[in-house]
Amino acid sequence: MAASTRKQKSNISCTMLMISGSVLLVVVVVLLSNEPKYFQADPFRTNYFQSEVVNITTHNKSSSLVYDDTTNISHLVFGLVGTTKAWNYRKFYIESWWRPNVTRGFIYLDTEPTEDLLPWSSASPPFRISEDITKLLNEIKHLDPIIARLVHAAVEVYREENEGVRWYIMGDDDSIFFVDNLVDVLSNYDHTKYIYIGAHSECIVSNQHYSYDMGFGGAGLIMSYPLAKLVQKNIEDCFRRHPYSHGADLLLMTCVNDFGVSLTAHQGLHQIDLHGDISGLLSSHPKAPLLSLHHFDHVEPIFRTMNRSESAKQLMKAANVDQSRLVQQTICYDRKFRWSFSLSWGYSIQIYENIIPRSTLKTPLETFLPWAWDPNSQLLYIFNTRPLSNDPCTTPHVFSFDSIKKINDDEVQTNYVRVASRELPTCGVAGNYSADSVSRIEVLSPVTKPNQNGKTECCDVVEITEGMDIAKIKLRDCMDDELIA
């Protein structure tokens, strides 16, 4: 009898447990059906300027839901500073990379546009007139008005554009930015932290005169949203603390340093404190995405057969197809002819009539002159350089980027043509062959971005045509244990 009673109780307990489990399952299903659904926004299908917070209605309930967490172009705002007088000939640099109705930001002018600039071009960034801060300057006395205006632009652009912003990029009216690369690089940083990114000058003297801890403004000064917010809130107090600053970039650095934030230097930002022909620098770019170029008015056109504005547009032809490879250096060798090829994708190719180590070819040829120098020192630049020479074994044949096209779903072809005759004899080392007959080089590269495994890409010289007038090169991922030698 007792055993029968225990059995009945056991059956009742099991039944109750099953019922409880079923009820719990129903409750969980109901709750989950009312949970918000997270999604990845497609930047190619959505408005670039949409709010980061998207309202989704599920079962008649509205939920304010977050975000596509990947940094995209809508998270970047540019604050460019220029003058009305210079805009007529500098606007071409900005228009070469600006994307109307996509790129966010403004050009800050010192005065109202003159009649020759109106109506304002839709290809240019929207303009703003720099705020009148005369009252503040009269109070501070010693602060240079031009320096104050340049720094104050960082405050003005923050006040004007602060919805859904992660990064502010300050630049000049002759700064060329590579926006896709900026998006890729900045996505690797935490935009919720206090971050100040910039570049050193190429010249030792400039860094010593200002500071190695300072980002040079024309190359692009990048501030995360929290830092920009802090700067705009405290800028007037900073002006009062540092009225004798002798540079806008230096004053901004000083303000940022007062908050305990230091410079993060990036090799892809370029102040171009140089004169003359900068092809040596662009042909041996460090392994870093190209983010900016400055001082286009102070160097020779980067493509010899074009003027400066045409050169900017020519570089952007390649950039608009594949910024990830732009001016990235790849080196390969043709063993039959004993030639070394140094490729700067989308810009130039050099052929050397000799097998030259990669460690040497990585070093820029000193085709340029310093912005300033110390007559008591032989040290000019913050990087090593190679001297120019008339040695046919170390002087390259130079080919310049000419055109680009997508040839199938997997590959892009860039074409490079000879700039000029080298006018030197053939390198005589080990019976080398002359490359004088080569007039054109074709390069195939994948449509996908390079593998980010810490190594450069490799390349193969796949063909030298029978008449030795065309060379064909193919870029690819390096094998794990491959030597570029």
CB of 259 within 8 A of CB of 194? yes
Where a domain ends, among 271, 286, 302? 271
Distance, in Å, from the CA atom of 60 to the CA atom of 481, rounded to the nearest integer, reads 58
3-class state of residue 125 by DSSP: coil
The range of the structural domain enclosing residue 442 comes to 325-476
How many helical (H) and strand (E) elements, i.e. helices and strands, does the chain have? 11, 21
Q: What is the pLDDT of residues 297-337, one digit of tens each?
A: 999 999 999 999 999 999 999 999 999 999 999 999 999 99
Domain annotation covers residue 7? no
Output the six-digit token pair for 80.
């460019």
267 and 339 fall within a common domain: no
Domain annotation covers residue 27? no
Q: Is pLDDT of 52 > 80?
A: no
220 and 368 fall within a common domain: no
187 and 83 fall within a common domain: yes
111 and 248 fall within a common domain: yes
3-class state of residue 197 by DSSP: strand
Where a domain ends, among 225, 242, 271? 271
Output the six-digit token pair for 438.
């080569």
Domain annotation covers residue 471? yes
* Planar angle of CA 228, 234, 239, nearest 5 degrees: 110
Strands 104-109 and 127-129: parallel
Where a domain ends, among 271, 302, 317? 271
How many independent structural domains does the chain possess? 2
Domain annotation covers residue 285? no
CB of 293 within 8 A of CB of 216? no
Domain annotation covers residue 114? yes
Most confident of 7-16, 54-63, 168-177: 168-177
Average pLDDT of the chain, as a whole number:
88
CATH of residue 238's domain is 3.90.550.50
Domain annotation covers residue 111? yes
3-class state of residue 179 by DSSP: helix
Q: What is the pLDDT of residues 3-43, one digit of tens each?
A: 444 444 444 444 444 444 444 433 333 333 343 332 233 33
330 and 225 fall within a common domain: no
Q: Is pLDDT of 158 > 90?
A: yes
Which amino acid type is present at position 32? L
344: left (phi over 0), alpha (psi -120 to 50) or beta: beta
Instruction: Return the residue matching tokens 């109780």.
Output: 9
